[in-house]
Each structure stands twice: as structure tokens, then as C-alpha cells.
Homo-oligomer: A and B are copies of this chain.
Amino acid sequence: MSVHSLPAPARDARAQLAARHAQVRAHSLALAAPLSAEDQCVQSMPDASPTKWHLAHTSWFFEAVVLAAHGSAYRPFDARWGHLFNSYYESLGSRHPRPQRGLLTRPALAEVHAYRAHVDEAVQELIASADAAAFGAAQPLIELGLQHEQQHQELILTDILHALWCNPLLPSYAAHEAPALRLAPSPLRWVDGPEGAVAIGHPGEGFAFDNETPRHRHWLQPYRIADRLVTCGEFAEFIADGGYRTPSLWLSDGWAQVQAQQWNAPQYWIAPRDPRADATHWQVFGLHGLRPLDAAAPVSHVSFYEAAAYAEWAGARLPTEAEWEAAAALPGLRELHGHAWQWTRSSYDPYPGYRPWSGAIGEYNGKFMVGQVVLRGSSLATPAGHARDSYRNFFPPGARWQFSGLRLAKDGHDD
């Protein structure tokens, strides 16, 4: 069956997918564009990956998950690269050790660009030419490939920010913007959350990861939740009040981390030279380089441990992920998306009735469901269109290199 014989709606679906595929793939290259080949090769810690590796891995994902199964005539760009760019899929073959991704000066960046073009051409060809059955089978996997690419787009930014931070010259990813016109932070308001049996999980329309399903009932006790995120200015007060020196505020593992790593501020904060300086006289390193702390901006780059300690200090707590999701549907809440991921007080456990996807992509989420903490919302680095209220992001409790902040909650309703 030729693509011309498809009924009109399906043709629209193909055209839309082709356009979306082209747009998402191009955006990765746009994010990498300000970086030299050297910058794109570096790995600053095992948790982070080089930009070039992200560019190649996301292409490998299309190759291994979409083209290997559905692009019948597809020839891999280089059979040896599966070993290099497989991240963690045990069922898809051997893998280069994660901490050594920065050693891959070859393939060169230009070769990775050629790889992307090769894979993109094949995917576009598949979208254009597959028969209806094949397209039906491939379409959700292509969509998954694009969602996966978007996740790595955020990682491109978080990982290069960490790498630049490790350079004593503190180079910027992007040029300084004109300073934003910042007003004082708006006062925090408490919003009563829903209570009783609420429905949690992806409602079913549009894309969702397997870990957001199945939608199920969850019983909520009365609670209230802050309508905005904790700000840098507020967090600076926590520091000034001795927050990093007061063990009673911290979870045991968090306090051990504070001492072992000598944490005294969020990841990218540089202390004022004069320790008696005003609490806001910090400098903060970001994608636009080193800038004075913006007291009204949401705090970011804090670990779960720091988020929980701050909440304790503030006489509050972190919301559970169910509380967050239930409250997200209410009017009144601000900064749900696009500022900073929000640590919740929920470990990353499977939903009742959860089943991973079948096949290799079953390794996407399920096998990480222990030892991690859920974050909700999305950040300034999340690509447009990628955020969802039911989205379950997760990181170990000590991770700080993500754009991770917090929103407060309390037991009971507001008086």
C-alpha cells in the first residue's frame, strides 16, 4: 500500500509525525550549537554524559527500538556503535562503561552528525513509506523516541552546566541576557488540596510513560500546598539561619552527605566573600554564567535532602506526589511547570497494578523503582510540550545537578 492510498486522517498523522520528528531532532542540535567539539566530548562525572554522547545515544535509540524492528531495509550506520551508545538496556547488548563516556573522542562530532542524518533519513522514510500496519506499529515507538530525545535535551543542559562549573574559568553556555526585571517574590499562599479517594495517574489521552500508569485511586488526608515554589531569597535565609549546620533539620543520610561533601549551599552557589554580608549576596552559576542571586527566583539545584531540611526549617513538609498531582488540577497554583522540578516526599515505587512495557523498552522506567525520589512538574530546561501533570521524574536523593527545587505542603486545611 502506497502512502497515497492512505485515508486522509492517516496522511495527516504521518505528516504531523514527520514534522514533529524533524523539529524535535533539530532542537537537539540547536542546543548543542553553542558548544565546541571539545565541549561536547567532556564528561564531568559518572552521572553526567557528554553532549555528543546524548546526540548519538538518542539516535541509537531510534536505531535499536524503531529501525531494527520496523525499518526492514535498514542498515545500521556502524555495527560497533551499539556498544558505545546503548545506555542501560541489558536486552540490547553490551555497553561501554558509563563513567568512560567522556573518553570517546572517536567517533568525532562530525561522524555523530552524519549518524544522526542517517538515522533521521531512515525514520522519515519509514514514516512516509511504511504500510498502515507497519506504521501503526512504529508510530508509538517513534513517539517514544521523540519523548526520549526530549528527556535528553534537558540532560544536555544539566550535564554541560555541571561540566562548565568544573572549569575554573566558569565559562558560560550562553551569553548573558539582559537582566530580567524582577519584582519582589509574590507572597506565598496556601491552597487546600482535595481529600478522600482521588484518581492519580495518566488519564489516558496522549503520550505517557509506563510509570504514570495505571490510573488508580489514592486516598488523601486533608492537606494544603504552597501556590508557588520556594525562592532563592528564602533559601538564603535558611542558610543564614544555620540550616546547613543544624543536624536536627536533616534526614540521617542527608546529614552524612552534608558533612562528607561539606555542602553549605545549593550546587552552583558561590558564597559572598564577606561572611557578614546580606543573605542575598551570593552569586549563582547558570547557563548564562555567574550572576548575582535573584532573590525572587525559584531555588534550584538542591538535593532532596536539602529540600526536606528546608521544609523542616520552614515548619512545613514536602508534598507527596499524589498530593502534588491532585493539587495540580486546582486553580491557584503557580509555577507548576517551566521553573524547577519539585522534589516530593514520595519514594519512586510502582503504582498499584503497574506493568512495564513489554520488550526492551520495559527497561525504560521500571527497573529503577528503588532508592529514588519522585520529582514533579518540569523545569526551565524541559523542552516545550514535554511537561505533564502526571509526569514522574526521579533521581537519587543526593542529586543536585538537575534543575530541582521545591514547593511546600502542610497537613490539614488552612484555618
A248 close to B (CB within 8 Å): yes
Instruction: Give the shortest distance, in Å, between A410 (CB) and chain B (any CB).
Output: 11
Stretch at the interface among A5-13, A105-113, A225-233: A105-113
B350:A349 contact, CB within 8 angstroms: no
Contact B347 A370 (CB under 8 A): yes
B-side contacts of A96, CB under 8 Å: 168
Per-residue CB proximity of A182-226 to B under 8 Å, as 1/0? 000000000000000100000000000000000011111101000
CB distance from A115 to the nearest CB of B (A): 13
Q: Does A18 contact B (CB under 8 A)?
A: no
Q: Which residue of B lies closest to A396 (CB)?
A: B371
Q: Are B367 and A251 in contact (CB under 8 A)?
A: yes
A243 proximity list for chain B (CB < 8 A): none
State whether the Cβ of A411 lies closer than 8 Å to any Cβ in chain B.
yes
B373 touches A397 (CB 8 A): no
A91 CB-CB contact with B under 8 Å: yes
Task: Give every chain B residue within 8 A of A177 (Cβ-Cβ).
Answer: none
Of B100, B163, B219, the contact of A105 (CB 8 Å cutoff): B163
Query: Which of B80, B105, B171, B251 makes the CB contact (< 8 A) with A369?
Result: B251
A105 to B170 alpha-carbon distance, docked (Å): 11
The reply on A368 being an interface residue by CB < 8 A is yes
* A41-B397 in contact (CB<8A): no
Pick from B107, B167, B345: contact of A349, CB below 8 A: B345
* Binding-face segment, A32-40, A66-74, A129-137: A32-40
Q: Which of A99-123 contact B (CB under 8 A)?
A: 100, 102-109
Mark interface residues in A355-398 (1 if CB within 8 Å of B CB, else 0). Answer: 00000000100011111010000000000000000000000010
- Chain B residue, CB-CB nearest to A78: B169
User: How many residues on the A side are at the interface (Cβ–Cβ under 8 A)?
Assistant: 67
Interface membership of A255, Cβ < 8 A: yes
Chain B CB within 8 A of A353 CB: yes
| B residues near A251, Cβ cutoff 8 Å | 367-370
Question: Which B residues are CB-close (under 8 A) to A107?
Answer: 169
Chain copies in the assembly? Answer: 4
Q: For the complex, is A263 an interface residue (Cβ under 8 Å from B)?
A: no
- A41/B41 in contact, CB under 8 A: yes
Could you mark each residue 33-67 of chain A with 1 if its beta carbon is under 8 Å from any beta carbon of chain B, else 0?
00011111110100000000000000000000000
In the complex, the answer to whether B41 meets A42 with C-beta atoms within 8 Å is yes
Interface string of A146-175 (1 = CB under 8 A from B): 000000000000000001001111010000
Cβ of A304 under 8 Å from chain B: yes
Say whether B370 contacts A90, CB under 8 Å: no
**Residue on B nearest A368 in the bound complex, by CB:** B252
Interface presence of A288 (CB below 8 A): no
Q: Which residues of B contact A347 (CB under 8 A)?
A: 347-349, 370
The residue from B168, B253, B368 contacting A370, defined by CB atoms under 8 A apart: B253
A198 to chain B, nearest CB (A): 9
Cβ of A247 under 8 Å from chain B? yes
Asked if B370 contacts A304 (CB within 8 A), the reply is yes
Chain B residues near A167 (CB-CB < 8 A): 103-106
Report yes or no: A108 in contact with B221, Cβ–Cβ below 8 A.
no
Q: Which of A320, A352, A370, A373 has the most CB of B within 10 A?
A: A370
Instruction: Name the B residues within 8 Å of A22 (CB-CB).
Output: none
Check if A244 is an interface residue, CB within 8 A of chain B. no
Known: A42-B105, A44-B103, A80-B169. 11 other contacts (CB 8 A): A38-B41, A38-B105, A39-B105, A42-B102, A91-B247, A100-B166, A104-B167, A217-B219, A221-B352, A345-B349, A352-B411
10 cross-chain pairs, A with B, having the tightest CB-CB distances, nearest first:
A347-B347, A90-B247, A38-B105, A219-B219, A252-B367, A221-B352, A39-B105, A38-B41, A103-B166, A217-B219
Can you list 9 residue pairs at the A/B interface with Cβ under 8 Å? A36-B108, A38-B109, A39-B106, A41-B42, A102-B102, A255-B367, A347-B347, A347-B370, A371-B397
